[in-house]
A and B are shown apart, each in its own frame.
Chain A
Amino acid sequence: MKNNKYSRNYVSIPSTILVILLLVWVMVPFYIMFFASFKPNFSILRLPPDLVPLKDFTLVNYKAVFERADVFLWMKNSFIISVSVALATAFIAVTAGYAFAKIKFPGKNVFFALVMATLMMPKQMLLIPNYLVAYNLHLQDSFHGVILTTIAPAFGVFLSRQYITSLPSTLFDAAEIDGCSELGKFFRVALPLSLPAVGTISIFAFFTSFNDYLWQLIMLSNKKLMTMPVGLSFFGQTMHNNRAAQLALSSIGTIPLILIFIACQKFFIKGATVGAVKG
């Protein structure tokens, strides 16, 4: 790879050290979550909390998690919801983003203003009307209901519009000359080139819906549909506010998120290489 020679690829040692320091600071909560999950609850209640790794080591929290929490069910439910939301959001975002970025059509600015307006509306204000809509469409207490009401394409539309805008128009013109239909231009040119945006949008949508505690709590009542964040809240409570056990459960809950992240990461890179070849 010749790539390493370009100066955007220049390694700046001071910058790198600063970045690492910043990240160490950012990691404190994660560090606490992980190591405290191996301690008895009262040793993390103490202030300042006892954070020496492996001191008072115990597996009692994990034992409690596997005995008393439906981890696998909650995880599965969260995955069903979040994966669907991620895919749907990315699809809607890229189609609309493509239209906004590369097609001239009447009313474009009005529609785009609507996209921005949904982005700006405080979600907390909309909880009640949103629930009314869901209730009247009989969407409450079902996966498809949560999925439909969680898809929030506005940020994705904006992001993919910004991304696709910067793709060279010549590519699309060339495809057209080659006899590509409108659909073909989207599927053969726009979509492959915007994979980094698709990856980014899916990841955000995935994580956002994975952590969407309040809405999932409001929408889902049936215990069989309980999701990870809702389960976490119940679990801590029925364990006498046992924070260490909660931390153990959320440590377990973080592992799949990390795996998903790493899997999606490859997606970004792939999109980038396509772009580079074409450029």
Chain B
Amino acid sequence: MNPKKQKYTPRERYKARWAYVFLAPWLLMFLIFYAYPLIYGTIVSFTNYTIGSMKWIGLENYRTIFTDYRFWRSLRATIFYMLIVMPLQVFVPLWIANTIQAYKRGFNTAVKLVAYIPGVTCSVALVLAWRFMLDPNIGFVTSFLKKIFGARFSPFNTASTAIPIIAVLIAFTNLGATLIIYSAALNAIPADYYEAAELDGATRWDQLTKITIPLLQPTIVYVFITSTIGALQIFVIPQLMTQGGPNFMTSTVLLLIYSAAFGDNKFGYASALGVILFLITAIFALIQFRITRRETVEY
């Protein structure tokens, strides 16, 4: 992370000063509304902060967390969710974006809109819809699965079936955002690139792998990293579908944070969980930055 010793020409030094001007609005927001809460949250994680009292207890919260089976189960489930959700969120929207690129604005817009709608549909409707599909008594997807796996099959009774089902729901509920990003990036690729490639006799596959994907690389990195972060912070849908059960097998770390803070009023403990989740996320993001760091492609 340390920048190498760099030499700046006077011109560059002048420009660098402008960089801080451009950064200023972000920095201001960051300091007031992020740095402070972040540090506060971290400090609190070393206390037994609850309603009306806050005492320094050192690493006690962390010790409790690492000996708690609920944490390990939730962590395992969180990573399980991520491993399914992340690739779906990276590649399915890319495929859709590439497919609809050929169409005129009307259809193109309609697809993006439709993909975005679940993200803005009220949760009452979402819950109704999922029950309609997945309720163990009457859901049509469940009835179908029962035909395959037998009448006693109950998809939410074990993590190995519940997590994939929930993960797919999550990935498809959040298709729209990524699709829009990919579409915007695809639109920005100058058309002459394809024209030139076609003149050189490049196939469509060549054009996809040699032009589209390399030029989209910064966008793909963005989606890759943000969907990993997002997947590690999955929370609402498992809560609505299984409450994290049976016995925390489909729970997530964020679900634990929420119930520690708002169920047990253990704000210190919740913060410690938050710090751990943050560190896990940071490790994943760092690995991804390493993997994806290449020369940036410019056009």
Chains A and B bind each other: yes
> Which A residues fall within an 8 A CB radius of B?
3, 5-12, 15-16, 19, 22-23, 25-33, 36, 44, 47-49, 51, 91-93, 95-96, 98-99, 103-111, 113-130, 132-133, 137, 148-149, 151, 153-155, 157-159, 162-163, 165-169, 182-183, 186, 196-197, 199-200, 203-204, 207, 210-211, 229, 232, 236, 243, 246-247, 250, 253-254, 257-258, 261-262, 265, 268-269, 271-272, 275-276, 278-279
**B195 contacts partner chain A, Cβ-Cβ < 8 Å:** yes
Q: List 26 A-B contacts (CB under 8 A).
A: A3-B191, A7-B198, A11-B103, A12-B102, A16-B100, A36-B128, A95-B22, A104-B15, A106-B3, A109-B2, A110-B1, A122-B254, A125-B257, A133-B33, A151-B29, A159-B222, A163-B184, A166-B297, A207-B119, A246-B124, A265-B112, A271-B188, A272-B184, A275-B189, A278-B190, A279-B299
**B65 contacts partner chain A, Cβ-Cβ < 8 Å:** no
Known: A51-B132, A95-B25, A120-B282. A26 touches B118 (CB 8 A): yes
- Which B residue sits closest to A232, measured CB to CB? B122
Known: A105-B15, A246-B124, A262-B109. A26 touches B38 (CB 8 A): no
- CB proximity to A under 8 Å, residues B107-147: 109, 111-122, 124-126, 128-133, 135, 137-140
**B180 contacts partner chain A, Cβ-Cβ < 8 Å:** yes
Residue with the greatest number of chain B CB neighbours at <10 A, chosen from A118, A166, A167, A246: A166
Known: A166-B297, A250-B125. A26 touches B175 (CB 8 A): yes
Which residues from chain B contact A32 at a C-beta distance below 8 Å? 125, 128-129, 132
Known: A33-B121, A125-B277, A254-B117. 4 other contacts (CB 8 A): A6-B195, A125-B41, A126-B274, A262-B113
Produce 1/0 per residue, B181-214, CB < 8 A to A.
1011111111111110010000010011001100
**B33 with A149: CB separation less than 8 A:** yes
Known: A149-B33, A200-B184. A162 touches B128 (CB 8 A): no
**A122 with B25: CB separation less than 8 A:** no
**B187 with A268: CB separation less than 8 A:** yes
**B282 with A117: CB separation less than 8 A:** yes
Which residues from chain B contact A116 at a C-beta distance below 8 Å? 225, 282, 285
User: Chain A: interface secondary structure?
Assistant: helix
Interface Cβ pair total, 8 Å cutoff: 334
Residue with the greatest number of chain B CB neighbours at <10 A, chosen from A118, A120, A155: A120
A-B pairs, top 10 by smallest CB distance, nearest first, are A279-B190, A125-B274, A272-B187, A33-B125, A129-B37, A105-B16, A196-B184, A250-B122, A29-B129, A105-B19
Taking the closest CB of chain A, its distance from the CB of B213, in whole angstroms, is 11
Q: How far is the CA of A8 from the CA of B92 in the complex (A)?
A: 17
Which residues from chain B contact A5 at a C-beta distance below 8 Å? 195, 198
Q: Interface residue tally of chain B, by bracket? A: 35 or more
**B22 with A15: CB separation less than 8 A:** no
Partner of A99, one of B22, B38, B112, B257: B22
**B177 with A204: CB separation less than 8 A:** yes
Q: How far is the CA of A265 from the CA of B184 in the complex (A)?
A: 10
**B191 with A6: CB separation less than 8 A:** yes
**B56 contacts partner chain A, Cβ-Cβ < 8 Å:** no
Which residues from chain A contact B215 at a C-beta distance below 8 Å? 166
**B90 contacts partner chain A, Cβ-Cβ < 8 Å:** no
Produce 1/0 per residue, B158-192, CB < 8 A to A.
00000000000000110101001101111111111
**B270 with A125: CB separation less than 8 A:** yes
- Which B residue sits closest to A25, measured CB to CB? B172
**A127 with B261: CB separation less than 8 A:** yes
Partner of A162, one of B92, B129, B137, B221: B221
Known: A15-B99, A163-B218, A169-B298. A126 touches B23 (CB 8 A): no
**B41 with A27: CB separation less than 8 A:** no
Partner of A261, one of B12, B29, B113, B221: B113
**B23 with A163: CB separation less than 8 A:** no
- Which A residue sits closest to B255, measured CB to CB? A124
Q: How far is the CA of A127 from the CA of B261 in the complex (A)?
A: 10
- CB proximity to A under 8 Å, residues B269-287: 270-271, 273-275, 277-278, 281-282, 285
Q: How far is the CA of A211 from the CA of B208 in the complex (A)?
A: 36
Q: How far is the CA of A155 from the CA of B34 in the complex (A)?
A: 13
